Structure 1
Amino acid sequence: MRPPAPGRIPPRPTHAPGAAPHPGRAEDASAVEGRTAFPGERHSPSGAALGTPPAPVETTVRLRPVPPDPGFATRHHHHAWPPPSPPESLSGTATRLRPVPSRPPVRAAAAVACVVLGLGLIGGAVTGSWLTGDSAAEPVVPDAYTTARSLWHSVPVDTLFPRTLKGDGAGPGRADRTWTRVAVAPDSACADALPAPLVRTLRPVGCTRVLRATYADSTGSSLTTVGLVFTEGDRPAMTALKTRLTTGRLAERTDHIPHTFSVEGTPTAGFGERQRASWTLEVVDGVPVVGYAVSGFADGRTVTDPQPAGAATVTGAKTAAAEAGLGFEAKGIATRIEEGLRTAATTTATAAPR
C-alpha cells in the first residue's frame, strides 16, 4: 500500500483483519478493541468509538506532519508503511515544505519600473527631436510680431502717441515739420472707430481694437487723426490684406476713409467727416496692425474732393489737399507712429522672459 500524503490521517478500516467487508454492517467490536484510539476520540463503555477524530485545523501545505495511526499496522497482516522521521527542524511549529524565494515589495518594484519607463520616454523624446530637428521641442521665444498684438493695452499712451512728433524733412519740399498731440481717444471697438466698408475689409484678419489720437501742426492750420488697428491675423493673412489694400486699391476708395477724432473745447472740435481732405491706409510692416492717418483743415472748412496721400504728394498735384500739403501731413505722422509701434514691439519681445 502506498503511504498516505504527508499531513493527512490514514483512513480507518471498515472490517476486522482477515474478515470480508460487508456493506452496511457495523464494525466488529473485537477489531475496535484491538486498535489504538485517535487522539481526542470518545468511546462508549464497551470500547466502541462514538465518532471520528476531529479534522485538522489547517489544511494547507504548511501543516506539520501528523503521526500515522499505530492501530493501522496492527489491524493489517501486511507491513504498514514506516512512519517518516520528523525533520530536525520540527519543534512543535509549522514548517514550509519547500523554500520560498524572497521577493521585493510590490510597490518598490512598481516604482522602479515607473522610473525606468519615464527615463526611457524622456530619452526617446529628446533623441527624436534631436534627430528630426523638431521645432516643437524647442521653447517658444516671443517675437515682435506676436508681442505687438497686446500692445494696445500694455504700453503707455505716450509711447504709442508721443506728445510731440518731429518730422525732419517730412513736409513739402522736404521741409521740417512738428506736430503736437491735442486729443487721445480711449481704445475703441472697430465698428465705432471705422467706416462699415473698411470694417468688412478687415474682417478676414479679425479686427480687435483701435487706438486713435489727433495732432495739430506747429502753425495750427491743419489737424490729423492717426490710428492703429490691432488684428488677430497671422503673417499670411496680413500679407493677403496688404495686397487687397494696395493692388486692389481699396485703400484709395473714399468709402474706406477712416473717421476723424475730435473733442469739444479743443482745436479739434470742428474736425469732422466733411473736413477730411487726405488720408493714408496700410498694413504696418512686421506687426499684425493696420495704420492710418486722415488730415484736414483746422478752420473747419469743408472738402469736397478728398485725395489719397499718395496722389496728394505727387509733384504738380492741384487739389486743395495737395496744395495745402495735407498729404504730407498724413504720411509724415503715420510713418512716425508706425515706427514707434515697431520699436515698442521689439523692446517688449526682447524684455520677455525666455
Structure 2
Amino acid sequence: MAGDAADVAAALPVDGIVETTARLRPVPDQARPLTASRPIVTFARPDTRDADTARPRLLGALTGPRTAAAAVCVVLGIGLIGGAVTGSWLIGDGPGEGAQGAYAVAGSLWHDVPVDQLFPPTVHGPGAGPGGADRTWTRVAVAPDSGCKDAFDPLLRKALAPAGCLRLLRATYTDATRSQVTTVGLLFTRADSAAMSAVAGRFKKEGLGRRTDLMPRPYAAEGTVAAGFGDAQRASWTISVRTDLPVVAYAVSGFADGRTVTEPQPAEEAVKAGATTAAAQAGLGNEARGLAERIGAALRKSVTGATEKPS
C-alpha cells in the first residue's frame, strides 16, 4: 500500500492548553454534565435486551435452591476469569480457556467504556522519565473514534491489515512543561487470538516496530498545544501488538514547538543509556513508552472490571 503522509500545523493558543474532545454516542443514564473546562465523552452501550421479549435479561429469574447454586457458579466463574485476565496481561501470553471471555469483552470496550476511563485526563508516571524522574501528563485532545485509514504510515497500515481494523481510539497528552506532546492510540482489531499472534510474531521477527517507515501518526487538534504535531514532528514511538486481547496499543511523541525531527528513534532504543539522538536527549522515548504503559494499564483495568460484572 502506498500514500503520502499529511502534516498538520496550527498555532499555539495564547491561553495555554484547551482540551478538544468529540462527543461519542453518549449514554443517557451515565453521561455526566458537560462543563466548559472539561467535556466528558462516553462510548455507547450495546443493547442487552432480549430480542424476542424486548425485556432486559435479569439474573434474578431463578428462585429457591437454584438461585443459591447459580450464585455460587457466578462467583466461581468471575474469580476464574478475573485471574486469567490478570495473568495474561502480566506475562503477555495468548488467552487460554479461562481468558476467552475476557478476549471477547475487550473487543467491545471501545463503545462501552467512558473515555476518561481509557484515557484519563491526568496520567501520573512515577519514575517514568529519564533517570527515574517522575512524569505527569495532561490530556489535551481526544479524537473521535474512527477507522484506521489515515492513522498510520502506509506500510504500517499494510503490516496491520491481517488483524483488521474494527475501531481506533486516540488521545494526545502534553507533559508538565508543555514542551512535549504524545499521541496514544488503541486499535481494536477484528482478529481472533491466532491472527493476533501471527501479526505479533511477524512484528517481533522482522523488527517492524523499530522501522521509521512504519510509524503511527500523531493526532493534532487545532487550538491546543499539540496543534503543530504532524508527521514531520514525530520523534519517538512504540507499538505493541497484543496477543491476549484484540488490541494494538501505540504511542508517538514529539516536541510541542513544531520543530522537524530528522532522526526519529524507536522508544526502546531512545531510552537506552548513551543514546544521543534528539529524541533520546529530550526524553521523548520515555514519554512514548511511559504513556503507552499506563494507558495499557487503564485498558487492563477496564477489561478486568468488565469481566467481573455478571451479564
Shorter-chain TM-score bucket reads: 0.5 to 0.7
Deviation at 1:142, TM superposition (A): 6.3
Following superposition of structure 1 onto structure 2, how do residues 168-183 of structure 1 map, counting pairs within 5 Å? 168-183=126-141
SS of residue paired to 2:188 = strand
| Map 1:111-150 → 2, pairs under 5 A | 143-150=101-108
Give the drift of 1:236. Answer: 1.7
Distance in 2 of aligned mates of 1:223 and 1:242: 27
In structure 1, list runs of 5 or more residues that go unmatched.
1-139
Gaps of 5+ in 2: 1-97
Residues 134-283 of structure 1 mapped to structure 2, 5 A cutoff: 143-283=101-241
Using the TM superposition, name which of 277-286 and 313-322 deviates more.
277-286
Q: Is the contact made by 1:287 and 1:342 (CA closer than 8 Å) also made in structure 2?
A: no
- State how far apart, in whole Å, the 1-side matches of 2:274 and 2:300 are: 33
> Is the partner of 1:190 in helix, strand or coil?
coil
CA RMSD after TM alignment: 1.5
Are the aligned partners of 2:166 and 2:190 in contact in 1 as well (CA < 8 Å)? yes
Output the amino acid matched with 2:105.
Answer: T
Secondary structure in 2 matching 1:344:
helix
State whether residues 250 and 256 of structure 1, in contact with CA within 8 Å, keep that contact through their aligned partners in structure 2.
Answer: yes
Q: Which structure's relative contact order is higher, taking Cα pairs within 8 Å and 6+ residues apart?
A: 2
* 1:66-98 per-position Cα deviation (integer Å, ceiling 9, x unaligned): xxxxxxxxxxxxxxxxxxxxxxxxxxxxxxxxx
1:142–1:349 Cα contact (<8 Å) kept? no
- Alignment pair present for 1:322 and 2:247: no
Inter-partner Cα distance in structure 2 for 1:233 and 1:285: 10
Q: Percent identity?
A: 57
In 2, the alpha carbon distance for the partners of 1:201 and 1:282 equals: 13
TM-score (norm: length of structure 2): 0.67
Go from structure 1 to structure 2 and tell me whether the alpha carbon gap of 1:265 and 1:194 turns closer, same or farther (over 3 Å shift).
same
The letter for the 2-side match of 1:292 is: Y
Q: Work out the number of aligned pairs and report it.
A: 214
Mapped to 2, the partners of 1:243 and 1:285 lie a distance apart of: 9
What whole-Å deviation, never above 9, does each CA across 1:144-193 have from its counterpart, x for those lacking one? Answer: 21100011111100000000001011000111100000000001111122
Q: Deviations over 1:307-343 (max 9, x none)?
A: 0001101100000000000000000000000111111
Letter in 2 for 1:263: A
8 Å Cα contact 1:245-1:282 kept in structure 2: no
Alpha-carbon deviations, 1:181-237, whole Å to 9, x = none?
A: 000000111112222211211121112111000000011110000000111112121
Q: Shift in Å at residue 285 of structure 1?
A: 5.3
Report the Cα distance in structure 1 between the residues aligned to 2:99 and 2:205, rounded to whole angstroms: 34
The yes-or-no answer on 1:342 pairing with 2:300 is: yes
Q: Distance in 2 between matches of 1:278 and 1:141?
A: 33
| Structure of larger gyration radius | 1
Which whole-Å deviations, capped at 9, do the CAs of 1:235-271 have from their partners, x for residues lacking one?
1211111111122111111121111111111111111
Report if the CA contact (8 A) 2:170-2:183 is conserved.
yes
Q: Which runs of 4+ in 1 moved over 4 A?
A: none
Q: Match of 1:168, as an amino acid?
A: P
TM-score by length of 1: 0.59
